Structure 1
Amino acid sequence: MATNGMFVVCCFTAAWLLFVCHGSSIRPDVFEKINFESVRVDVDLDRVIHRVNERFLSVAIDASLVAEEKFMYLLASPKLKTLSSALSPGFLRFGGTKQDFMEFNPYSYHGRPKNSFPHLGDMCKKLQLPPALEENLKKEWSFQALLLQQEERKRKYRKVRFTEYAVDLLYSFANCTGLDLIFGLNALLRTSGNSWNSQNAKMLLDYCESMQYNMSWELGNEPNSYQKKAGVRVEGSQLGQDFVHLRRILSESKLYQSSGLYGPDISQPREHRRDLLEGFLENGAEAINACTWHHYYVNGRDTSLEDFLDPNVLDTLATKIYEVHKTVDAVSPGKKVWLGETSSAYGGGAIGLSDTFAAGFMWLDKLGLSAKLGLDVIIRQVLIGSGTYHLVDDNLDPLPDYWLSVLYKRLVGPEVLNVSVLSTLKSRKHLRLYGHCTNRRSASYKKGAVTLFALNLGKGTAEISLPAHLANSTVETFVLEGPEAEQQGLLSRSVKLNGVVLKMVDDRTLPDLRGVSHHAGDPLRLPRFSFAFYVLTEARAPAC
């Protein structure tokens, strides 16, 4: 095929490394010398294999933020709004474990005038959290997060009541940052016959409709773990009926009759309760707009740095995607599939890993592989909230995965291209490449531009040479590395873009995220343990 791209990759070995993580040495064989042979990478420029949602990369706010309602006022922070706006367009999911332990309990619902909360137009600028209050809330949140982590470890969840003010702040935040809100309803409110009790949800829906809050909905979080969390077992068939019940309620609303409904937000397929998804779809598939499931690679309590860099760990995602697709296609062919919640390590993340530069390998590979295998949306756990896998830390400063996400948003379009590495199995595992049409919505690139993104899990620097028919294409390169050498860089909570550490200019301004232009014919180099985006501005891909 004349327009196919063929890339040659050579890697140069480096000295043996020894990393120490969590007080113990990482196996030397993980970092043994890897002599990459010449690698050919085939890119089909003529055909789009999948087209994902324009909001493919989306984010979540953990429902634990409302465990004490005052912390919802952090959503009025100008800094957080600035950071979140850069992730638009996207969905904003408000959910997680805590959603099934919270109830709507308004202070003044019956007598409150409509549209009394300022959330539109100029009020997005006027409604700002005072700096002194923001500082106090951030300090208090650090202690609150520890309490929430203890609750998670003990699996004893405190019930929470939230008011209309929490809903107002949440909707205002989503509306002002260009994100589409998905609100997670409590599915553990059950009747004596073990069907869903919709009374509290109706009260919330009523309030949201009175305020004309345009939003979507979920019902329940990881129902296959209800027995462990609350001593309640819900079969898939009953869960499907619960969603049909909710869809019926939504259909009776002028505002929500065509709103999105997503579920069942099961955890990743395991032998235990494997039948839950099938039973749900047989009874409730027609009620939902997309089937959602959750994925994490490892247990945050016993993982290590080597797991975050292990291509075999990254490969496990494909198996889970195939399993979910197989079930969905068998029961409800054509139904879109989302990763409704996902990050690196479950259990709140891995301390000292999930919020560092090393986490980016799992995140970028998940973005590439999920799109290539046909998932429509993936929702990152979490923008802010409890745990250690957030994009923004407790001081509301952006972490490495935040910068990676913003670059992805700016450079990667929804059209997925087929990219394959034609070499030995070992080389294919350690050098991972994906390709999309370049995002022309948020970047000023010509029609036909292509974005490749790659991660190098090997010890050597990868040198990528473009083929002859693309030799005249200018390439803009965005290389992300740890700010220090070796282990210190991998475990850093900062990141360098083309050699410069990324920091906000001020609370309302992101830095320029500029690429480095390469002249025609110059090789592209990807350092060891780094990842990068390459925009081929003159690719003239027919598919793009």
Structure 2
Amino acid sequence: MNSLKALVSLTALLLGVSSRGNHVEAINMRNTNESVFVIKLDMDISHPTRRVDERFLSVTIDASLVAEEKFMYLLGSPKLRTLTKALTPAFLRFGGTRQDFMIFHRQNAFQSKEYMTNSLFYLGDICERLELPPLLENQLKKEWAVQTFLLQKEELQRKYRRVKFSDHAVDLLYSFANCSGLDLIFGLNALLRTSGNSWDSHNAEKLMDYCESKEYFMSWELGNEPNSYEKKAGIRVDGTQLGQDFLHLRKILQQSKLYNSSGLYGPDIGQPRDHRRDLLTGFLETGAEAIDACTWHHYYVNGRETSLEDFLDPAVLDTLASKTKEVFETINTVSPGKKVWLGETSSAYGGGALGLSDSFVAGFMWLDKLGLAAKLGLDVIMRQVLIGAGTYHLVDDNLDPLPDYWLSLLYKRLVGPEVLKVEALSNSKQPKRLRVYLHCTNKKSTRFRKGAITLFALNLSKNPALIILPSHISNSTVEAFVLESAESGEEGLYSKSVKLNGEVLKMVDDRTLPPLKGSELSPGEQLKVPGLSFAFYVLKDAQAAAC
């Protein structure tokens, strides 16, 4: 009863603060041990501020998976395909550091025939035929756990060996993308250079000839983080040459019947720093007409030096805005109107932060990036990685979904591409610990009415936050989806499990995801975001003209 009285008192207090303007003080609730931060929202739902690609949240598979080709068979796992299908529509980027050390090797006709004869995958539909049998899947998962350790060691030593990959690896990759409903983007090796330091396209043309013979429709990239070529391989490529390399690739694509209209994206440059900005400028001045979108990479922190506090620091989260502004300034000066993508992104570079990038706390960086990137005008963001080496994956080495997977799945189901204006108002002098974003609700969901909007929030504070909606939509029926760690206290931030409205999320079986049920709030009921949690609120009766 004391808690009920406190809530009634709080409501009365809130009704009386309007005369003080739009700013609301943090209020200490009597008879409880927690301090509730009260935030009032200002919204404009009359029109969208911008619209992102419907594949805005996309994923990557790191090219390290093909360092030993047998691990490509993991892409035939029914469990992995079930998880991936649920994230559509999306791009699937196959690339990363090791793409620039990959050489395509076409097996001859005899080898191909022998391979197909000895293969466990035959007859029936191709998606069924390339499905991984359970015994083989379990064996590969055990071996992959060892392989990831070796790959991380190579990464630390910055020693990259050339790797041959065959047409069978391409078959497995394309089958995975096609059977899962993803649009494949293949990263080509840009470190194959001529004596004059231009790109040597011969190996790429062999790969494209094979893909065209199989009618594998896909898009392309050329090279990964050209700003680090010198460090990785002792080769320096300036922006002008890089642009010429992309123009060369575009000409090759134009000569193909299948790929003459396929997408080409690049240059997948690291975030602005020193010569990287000059490299991007030179590239755009020469090769902007070759690409359909300009791609760059963003990570907040160094995975080997970061801390739990960084993952909860608003100042760290805000660095995305400053870096994005620099990129847009360069692009709009040289090639105004060009679409801009985050071609690779996650929490921490260097393979992620051990114990953090694959845990519940990583969701604060990920959800804020989803909200802020759309708000800033980035059209697509590619999450590093769906599966692969490192600790920033969505799916672990056992192919089980991690907290960021569930966060991504809810985002896909509830958030539409139309970005709406929202502002959280508070006169607190402390850094903003509640960050909010607003979109039209995903129109592909048949559960919600036309005009519904989705508010999503992340609470960086240990204390709960109370959200006060604008009066014109405050009586809307709300469906709440609150994500909290499966474990309590600060230790819960390191958890590999997550609760949705109090229920731990896990797959029903390898082919079945759980129902993601919201909790319906009564019209006029306040939105309370627990401390250190994320929440999606679908305002079903908002009747937003923008939506």
TM category, shorter: over 0.9
For residues 426 and 228 of structure 1, what CA distance do their matches in structure 2 show?
A: 43
Question: 2:102 maps to which residue?
Answer: 102
Relative to structure 1, is the Cα distance of residues 76 and 448 closer, same or farther in structure 2, using a 3 angstrom cutoff?
same
How far off its partner does 1:459 sit? 2.4
Native 8 Å contact 2:271 2:296 kept in 1: yes
Question: 1:71 maps to which residue?
Answer: 71
For residues 86 and 214 of structure 1, what CA distance do their matches in structure 2 show?
A: 21
How far off its partner does 1:421 sit? 1.6
Relative to structure 1, is the Cα distance of residues 420 and 197 closer, same or farther in structure 2, using a 3 angstrom cutoff?
same
Question: 1:317 maps to which residue?
Answer: 320
Question: 1:358 maps to which residue?
Answer: 361
- Provide Cα deviations, 1:375-400, integer angstroms capped at 9, x if missing partner: 00000000000000000000000000
Relative to structure 1, is the Cα distance of residues 472 and 39 closer, same or farther in structure 2, using a 3 angstrom cutoff?
closer
For residues 119 and 338 of structure 1, what CA distance do their matches in structure 2 show?
A: 39
How far off its partner does 1:488 sit? 1.6
Question: 1:511 maps to which residue?
Answer: 514
- Provide Cα deviations, 1:514-538, integer angstroms capped at 9, x if missing partner: 1000011111110011010000000
Relative to structure 1, is the Cα distance of residues 426 and 344 closer, same or farther in structure 2, using a 3 angstrom cutoff?
farther
Question: 1:252 maps to which residue?
Answer: 255
Answer yes or no: is 1:153 the counterpart of 2:156: yes
Answer yes or no: is 1:197 the counterpart of 2:200: yes
Q: What amino acid does structure 2 have at the position aligned with 1:490?
A: L
How far off its partner does 1:112 sit? 6.6
SS of residue matched to 1:92: strand
SS of residue matched to 2:177: helix
Native 8 Å contact 1:109 1:164 kept in 2: no
Residue among 203, 206, 211 paired with 1:208: 211
SS of residue matched to 1:477: strand
SS of residue matched to 1:382: strand
How far off its partner does 1:273 sit? 3.2
Question: 1:172 maps to which residue?
Answer: 175
SS of residue matched to 2:358: coil
Residue among 475, 479, 485 paired with 2:482: 479
Q: What amino acid does structure 2 have at the position aligned with 1:181?
A: L
Residue among 265, 268, 278 paired with 2:268: 265
Relative to structure 1, is the Cα distance of residues 476 and 179 closer, same or farther in structure 2, using a 3 angstrom cutoff?
same
Question: 1:89 maps to which residue?
Answer: 89
Per mean C-alpha deviation after superposition, the further-off stretch among 364-373 and 102-111 is: 102-111
Question: 1:435 maps to which residue?
Answer: 438
Native 8 Å contact 1:8 1:464 kept in 2: no
Answer yes or no: is 1:40 the counterpart of 2:57: no
Q: CA RMSD in A?
A: 2.2
How far off its partner does 1:425 sit? 6.3
How far off its partner does 1:422 sit? 2.3
Residue among 134, 143, 157 paired with 1:131: 134
How far off its partner does 1:368 sit? 0.2
For residues 236 and 259 of structure 1, what CA distance do their matches in structure 2 show?
A: 23
How many residues are aligned here? 520
Question: 1:76-475 residue pairs with structure 2 within 5 A?
Answer: 76-108=76-108, 122-424=125-427, 426=429, 429-475=432-478
Relative to structure 1, is the Cα distance of residues 36 and 497 closer, same or farther in structure 2, using a 3 angstrom cutoff?
closer
SS of residue matched to 2:432: helix
For residues 292 and 120 of structure 1, what CA distance do their matches in structure 2 show?
A: 40
Native 8 Å contact 2:455 2:537 kept in 1: yes
Relative to structure 1, is the Cα distance of residues 349 and 13 closer, same or farther in structure 2, using a 3 angstrom cutoff?
farther
How far off its partner does 1:345 sit? 0.2
Native 8 Å contact 1:10 1:462 kept in 2: no
Question: 1:482-497 residue pairs with structure 2 within 5 A?
Answer: 482-497=485-500
Relative to structure 1, is the Cα distance of residues 197 and 34 closer, same or farther in structure 2, using a 3 angstrom cutoff?
farther
SS of residue matched to 2:253: helix
Q: What amino acid does structure 2 have at the position aligned with 1:107?
A: Q
For residues 454 and 402 of structure 1, what CA distance do their matches in structure 2 show?
A: 17
Relative to structure 1, is the Cα distance of residues 453 and 9 closer, same or farther in structure 2, using a 3 angstrom cutoff?
farther
- Provide Cα deviations, 1:476-510, integer angstroms capped at 9, x if missing partner: 00000111112221110000000011000000000
Relative to structure 1, is the Cα distance of residues 479 and 9 closer, same or farther in structure 2, using a 3 angstrom cutoff?
farther
Native 8 Å contact 2:36 2:466 kept in 1: no
For residues 313 and 123 of structure 2, what CA distance do their matches in structure 1 show?
A: 46
- Provide Cα deviations, 1:333-377, integer angstroms capped at 9, x if missing partner: 000000000000000000000000000000000000000000000
How far off its partner does 1:47 sit? 1.4
SS of residue matched to 1:364: helix
Residue among 532, 537, 540 paired with 2:540: 537
Relative to structure 1, is the Cα distance of residues 76 and 201 closer, same or farther in structure 2, using a 3 angstrom cutoff?
same
Relative to structure 1, is the Cα distance of residues 56 and 416 closer, same or farther in structure 2, using a 3 angstrom cutoff?
same
- Provide Cα deviations, 1:423-478, integer angstroms capped at 9, x if missing partner: 23646621100000000113421110000000011222111233332233110000
SS of residue matched to 1:522: coil
Relative to structure 1, is the Cα distance of residues 428 and 519 closer, same or farther in structure 2, using a 3 angstrom cutoff?
farther
For residues 309 and 121 of structure 1, what CA distance do their matches in structure 2 show?
A: 50
For residues 475 and 10 of structure 1, what CA distance do their matches in structure 2 show?
A: 25
Question: 2:53 maps to which residue?
Answer: 53
For residues 523 and 498 of structure 1, what CA distance do their matches in structure 2 show?
A: 16
Question: 1:525 maps to which residue?
Answer: 528
SS of residue matched to 2:197: coil
Structure 2's unaligned 5+ residue stretches are: 1-20
For residues 190 and 109 of structure 1, what CA distance do their matches in structure 2 show?
A: 29
How far off its partner does 1:274 sit? 2.4
Native 8 Å contact 1:9 1:464 kept in 2: no
- Provide Cα deviations, 1:262-290, integer angstroms capped at 9, x if missing partner: 00000100124320000000000000000
Per mean C-alpha deviation after superposition, the further-off stretch among 440-449 and 409-418 is: 440-449
For residues 120 and 295 of structure 1, what CA distance do their matches in structure 2 show?
A: 43
Q: Work out the percentage of aligned pairs sharing the same amino acid.
A: 70
SS of residue matched to 2:156: helix
Native 8 Å contact 1:11 1:461 kept in 2: no
Structure 1's unaligned 5+ residue stretches are: 1-5, 15-32
Question: 2:8 maps to which residue?
Answer: none
TM norm structure 2? 0.92
For residues 89 and 494 of structure 1, what CA distance do their matches in structure 2 show?
A: 25
Relative to structure 1, is the Cα distance of residues 294 and 255 closer, same or farther in structure 2, using a 3 angstrom cutoff?
same
Relative to structure 1, is the Cα distance of residues 119 and 325 closer, same or farther in structure 2, using a 3 angstrom cutoff?
farther
Relative to structure 1, is the Cα distance of residues 9 and 498 closer, same or farther in structure 2, using a 3 angstrom cutoff?
farther
SS of residue matched to 1:323: helix
SS of residue matched to 2:71: helix
Q: What amino acid does structure 2 have at the position aligned with 1:445?
A: F
For residues 10 and 409 of structure 1, what CA distance do their matches in structure 2 show?
A: 34
Give every structure 1 segment of 4 or more consecutive aligned residues whose post-TM-superposition deviation is greater than 4 Å: 6-14, 33-38, 109-113, 116-121, 425-428
